[in-house]
Structure 1
Amino acid sequence: MLLNLFGSDREAMSGVDTAWLRMDRPTNLMVINGIMFFDGPVDFERLSAVIDSRLLRHRRFKQKVVRSGANAAWEDDPDFDLANHLHLVALPGQAGKAELERMVNDLISTPLDFAKPLWQFYVVENYQGGSALIARIHHCIGDGIALIQVLLSMTDKEADAAVATRPRKPRFHAGGDDDDLFMRLYRPVAKMYTGMLKSYFKLIGTGYGLMMNPSKLAGYTQTGLGLAEGLARLTTLPADPRTRFKGPLSTVKRIAWSESLPLAEVKHVGRALGCSINDVLLSCVAGALRAYLIDAGEEDIDGLDIRASVPVNLRPESKLDQLGNYFGLVFLSLPIGVANPIERVYEVRRRMEEIKGSYDAVIALGLLSLLGMLPDAVEQPAIEYFSTKSTAVMTNVPGPREQIYMAGSPVRDLNFWVPQSGEIGIGVSILSYNEHVNFGVMTDKKLVAEPARIVERFGAEFEKLVLVTLMQHWDQPPDPGLAEINLALWSLMHDVEAES
């Protein structure tokens, strides 16, 4: 643990977590923001007891960050007080969605206090006749998969569960179905590189990244070649084109969230099109971004591609209940320039297949580990360089498949917003909960002042795909010529609409 650098009462931070810590800057705070919605009130005292017994069992939430040169460590906060992290607040005026958005906007633009453990919860007691819980947790504490497990450990399947109930050992909520929602990128890595990842995580645990130990790859000749080729491709990738989504950033962020899409309908559309659920959702994101750019007067849209940095979970199931960051990144090129929504979803599918067998995610995790152990003067230019390669961060996180309860109150819905690094100014988050899919968007105010104009287009893009799939037999296997058939159907409907 390299404790000698800090003293026996401190725990050295891993290289990867240190890298995320040092990415924090006024124009892009490395804080994951989430929200729970309730139809009724939340018992504040009971919630306090749940947090005390379940959240604070993770020592990390009672520790603050201390730095020494290029290194960072966790230290128990001798003055820890839950009252400094759990707040009861109320909305002004109509206490509706507009007022809640303003409150979240103010919070996400405010840095966390580094003199205390890096998290904050806010219970909004009067939202739309019910209530809401806003959570803010610094990325150095954990990634999305880790934090969703922490969230689940604080919830129950029944309203009357005991406060001190010991949470079950967490597991992925995505099952073995190849069409499952959020495992499309995780599963190939987990299956193909299991041996390498085991060795890799052992190296991470001792404070060394993959890139610091190339000799460890001696037994993986093919893997070593793939890593070398991937690293060369990653470092020579050209900068993403300049659009209204990319430019100088401010210190003010804006958020928006969508109405939920029924997961069953998304599954049916994917089956009818012969695509995965992920292909369908990412195609809707690309279509929504395209529609926004057109309405904003962006020129030369046709043929335009913009890249999204997509986190790929590399966390083995044995580490699901551990905090920290265990994910890499891949660059997904979104076909913004494809106008036909059917053609677009098939193009997304093709590009996802290209990513499927790449080593990019493992390389990214290794680079982050290495950067976290180098001086900040080296990390910051590297982060700036790699952030020019993409326009957005886009992440998928699997949430609970069934109704859950927080402190005895039923959770109606969930949403979250992913932070962006370097000069990236837009983040798109996709979260499943209780057989629904939710979209959240965070933007820099200087680039996109009203992210709701993007969010409101997700549903419209999905409806375009529904129009075609309504003409398919959803309970039958896809026809080999399905892509051509669906493209023809869309062209026909588009022509009829134009004539009318």
Structure 2
Amino acid sequence: MTIDALGTLEYDVDEDGHPRLPVKLEHKLQWSLIDIERAGGLTGWAAKHLLSAGDWIDKEVEERRRTVGGIDNMWFLLSEVTDFNPVCACTYTLRGKFTIEKLRDAAARQSERFPKYRQRIISVGRRFHGARFEDDPHFDLNNHIRTVRLPKPAGKKELDDLMGKFIAQSWDLNRPLWEMVLVTNYHDHEGARSAVITRGHHALADGQGFVISQLYITSYHDELVKTMNMSSKKLEDIKHGKLLPSKIHRSLRPLDSLSENPWTSPLLQTVLALSFWLAYTVSLGISLFWSIYQAFHQAALFLLTCWRVDTLTGPQPGARVPEREFASSRVFRLTDVKACQQAFSGARPGAAVAGVPADQRDSAQSKAGHVTLNDVVCAVMADVLAQELTARPADQLQGPWERVKRRLRTVLPSPMGFFIPISVRKPGDWSMRNLSTGSIVFLNPSRDLSPDVSARELHAHIHRCRAELSLLKHSIWPRLNFFALQLTGQAPALFRASLLANSSRWIKEWITEHITKPLYDLGLQSVPVILTNVPGPAKKTITLEGIEVIKWTALPPQAGKGTIGMGIISYAGGISIAVAADKVPSSEGVARRICEKFEARFELYARRAKEVLDHLD
């Protein structure tokens, strides 16, 4: 044995005196304790217990290192005591015949790059230890991919029906939590000749993580890798003042020459880095101010609405129906969204691009009151859901509680709650984890839901929605909630107190049935809509195993009974929405109706926007 110069590692040598593998001092200490234990006596007894404690500590540290985060674990705790199904799903329609062999090859590459697709969950439901993923010793791709044939005519309606059944399925926690299905005979008017539908348990990843893992196996792979690496490097360069000034803002282009001069470059980097951190500090202070306001604002609206929510599906007096329905809208051009942004940004309709030539409007942006894609889509959706609620059958509006709610709406604010996920994923992070949080935003519909609504009213409505969404963007509460929830991964009883009674079955069941479940159900049913926006490859279509993907939809989970899940995705120069809802006989077809009403209402917004822009010309 020899000891290195630092005295931190010991080397085992072979017969020629050459060192083998390094041995840490902790191992040397362990061997010494073993020798003392063998000697017996009081010191041997003490050494034995020290060794046992060391083994326990090693095991505990390793187990907690592998424990999933609190949000990952939350999905299991919720679904165990409620009717919540944490399913994320996608559909792809393909311009060509796709084969099961191609699907297997794609799934194999995906599971090779992202190990969670080969792992199962263990240790669920413990009090002070979170769940963990481990390699499934029986993993077989064939258990996760299969083919189906739709009944004739094998078009969009039949695919939607299949998707509704697909997302309603429960999960087998003894296997990796994902599935792909190839629909071999699907066809539509857009030229599709097959389709693929996928679903994954939300504990595998957040929406962005799923999108990254799916884009990785497409023709977008190289661009994805480049984008992920560049975004990470850009953030680091900004923090250290190393980013070229013109890449921060085009008005700083004159400073580019200073960054290339060896004498002025260090000073410029220092100034840019200080500017970044000063701006960050100021924005943090502003966020803190608005967070205090948002906390009172959101809490007040939640307390005024959570107990009188109007559901978009028919009444379900008993248990939640097990079936689901699914629908997706047609694809809208992003140019129509940009027209809405140009027409409705600024203090009045058309103010943002007034005096700007038509061919330069794409780069024009209002300094105040700029409208985003989310602002437009959320404004449209608030109108659509209000129309759907108004159109409910008369027999669903005549009950005693419905009459009470109608009276309350005349004296109390009655906006609709949308739960909107927010990513906290750092640029360049490839991990399959839930790195997202979220918050409720309360939106009212336009004051004029008729087809004759004016551009001025649409402008005012979009900006009312924008004001509510801006509170969400500037608030620090969602991020703080994320870190608080993550801590519960190490001690799940902090999230679900009934786990403290694991040793007494009847006490645990009583707490679950009379306290935990009612509280969780109230929370899950208090927000009628979960709305997520998934950014995909925006410029052109991608291919999967050489077959073009014509249309791509993405869907978040629904929350509680009567709620809907809604996904917006931008892809290949267009956007579309997908909707999932409970399949209640008295409201069957609600997902399809919402999509159709969204199509009609968005077209109306786009027409009014073009009228505003044409008037400027």
Report TM bin, short chain. Answer: 0.7 to 0.9
Find the aligned partners of 1:349 and 1:167 in 2 and give their Cα distance. Answer: 30
Over 3 Å counting, the alpha-carbon distance change for 1:355 and 1:110 in structure 2 is same
Q: In 1, Cα distance between the equivalents of 2:205 and 2:79?
A: 14
**Other-structure match for 2:367:** none
2:428 maps to a residue whose letter is S
SS class of match (1:438) = strand
- Of residues 33, 37, 48, the one that matches 2:93 is 37
- The structural deviation recorded for 1:60 is 0.8
Give the match's secondary structure for 2:161.
helix
Give the distance between the partners of 1:293 and 1:20, measured in 2 at CA: 29
TM-score normalised to structure 1 length: 0.77
| Separation in 1, partners of 2:229, 2:616 | 29
Report the structure number with the largest CA radius of gyration: 2
- Structure having the higher helix fraction is 2
In the TM superposition, 1:23-422 aligns within 5 A as 23-24=78-79, 27-68=83-124, 69-70=126-127, 71-128=130-187, 130-157=193-220, 168=225, 171=228, 237-238=302-303, 239-240=305-306, 241-245=308-312, 248=316, 249-274=320-345, 275-297=371-393, 300=406, 304-319=414-429, 321-336=430-445, 338-340=447-449, 342=458, 343-372=460-489, 373-375=491-493, 377-378=496-497, 380=516, 383-401=520-538, 402-422=540-560
3-state SS, counterpart of residue 416 of structure 1: strand
**Cα distance in 2, alignment partners of residues 42 and 475 from structure 1:** 48
The structure-2 alpha-carbon separation of the partners of 1:282 and 1:177, relative to structure 1 and needing over 3 Å to count, comes to farther
Does the 8 Å CA contact 1:313/1:327 hold for their aligned counterparts? yes
Q: Using the TM superposition, give the Cα deviation of residue 225 of structure 1 relative to its aligned residue in structure 2, in angstroms.
A: 8.2
Aligned-residue offset at 1:77: 0.3
- Equivalent position SS for 1:168: helix
Q: Take 2:98 and 2:113, find their aligned partners in 1: how far apart are those partners? A: 22
**SS in structure 1 at match of 2:441:** strand
1:31-74 alpha-carbon deviations (Å, 9 max, x no partner) = 10111111211132133122212333211110000125142111
- Whole-angstrom CA distance in 2 between matches of 1:386 and 1:6: 34
CA deviations over 1:196-225 (Å, ceiling 9, x no partner) = xxxxxxxxxxxxxxxxxxxxxxxx999788
Deviation by residue 1:411-432 (Cα, 9 ceiling, x = unmatched): 0010022102345621111011
SS of corresponding position for 1:117 = coil
* CA offsets 1:345-371 (integer angstroms, 9 cap, x no match): 232122222333212321331343244
Matched letter for residue 431 of structure 1 = I
Alpha-carbon shift at residue 91 of structure 1 (Å): 1.1
- Residues 533, 569 of structure 2: 8 Å contact kept: yes
Shift of 1:22: 2.2
Rounded to whole Å, the distance in 1 between the matches of 2:161 and 2:426 is 38
Structure 2 residue runs of 5 or longer lacking an equivalent are 1-56, 235-246, 250-275, 346-370, 499-515
Deviations 1:108-147 (A, max 9, x none): 1111211100000001111016111111100001011111
Q: 1:90: Cα distance to partner?
A: 1.3
Q: Is the 8 A contact 1:304 1:336 kept in 2?
A: no
Moved more, 74-83 or 328-337: 328-337
Q: Using the alignment, how far apart are the partners of 2:185 and 2:607 within structure 1?
A: 39
Question: What is the percentage of aligned positions where both structures have the same residue?
Answer: 22
Q: 1:435 aligns with which of 570, 573, 584?
A: 573
Post-superposition shift, 1:269?
1.4
Give the Cα–Cα distance (whole angstroms) in 2 for the partners of residues 48 and 377 of structure 1: 39
RMSD: 3.7
Where does residue 183 of structure 1 map in the other structure?
none
Deviates more, 1:361-370 or 1:413-422: 361-370
Distance change >3 Å, CA 39–CA 424, structure 1 → 2: same
* Counterparts of 1:110 and 1:10, CA distance in 2: 31
Work out the CA distance in 2 between the residues paired with 1:420 and 1:378. 24
Unpaired stretches in structure 1, ≥5 consecutive residues: 179-189, 196-219, 478-500
C-alpha distance in 1 between matches for 2:285 and 2:442: 29
State the partner residue of 2:602: 462
Alpha carbons 1:55, 1:150 under 8 Å: kept: no
How far is the alpha carbon of 1:169 from its aligned partner? 5.1
Q: Which is further off, 264-273 or 15-24?
A: 15-24
**What CA distance in whole angstroms lies between the structure 2 residues aligned with 1:399 and 1:28?**
27
**2:156 is the counterpart of 1:16:** no
SS at match of 1:281: helix
How far residue 194 of structure 1 moved from its aligned partner, in angstroms, is 7.2
**Could you say if the C-alpha distance between residues 143 and 221 of structure 1 is closer, same or farther in structure 2, counting changes exceeding 3 Å?**
same
1:308–1:333 Cα contact (<8 Å) kept: yes
Q: How many residues align?
A: 436
Contact 2:287 2:475 in 1 (8 A): no
Q: Match for residue 504 of structure 2? A: none
User: Structure 2: which amino acid aligns with 1:64?
Assistant: R
The aligned amino acid for 2:597 is: R
Is the 8 Å Cα contact of residues 554 and 569 (structure 2) preserved in structure 1? yes
Contact 1:43/1:407, CA 8 A, preserved across alignment = no
Q: TM-score, normalised by structure 2?
A: 0.63
Q: Which has the higher contact order (CA 8 A, sep 6+)?
A: 1
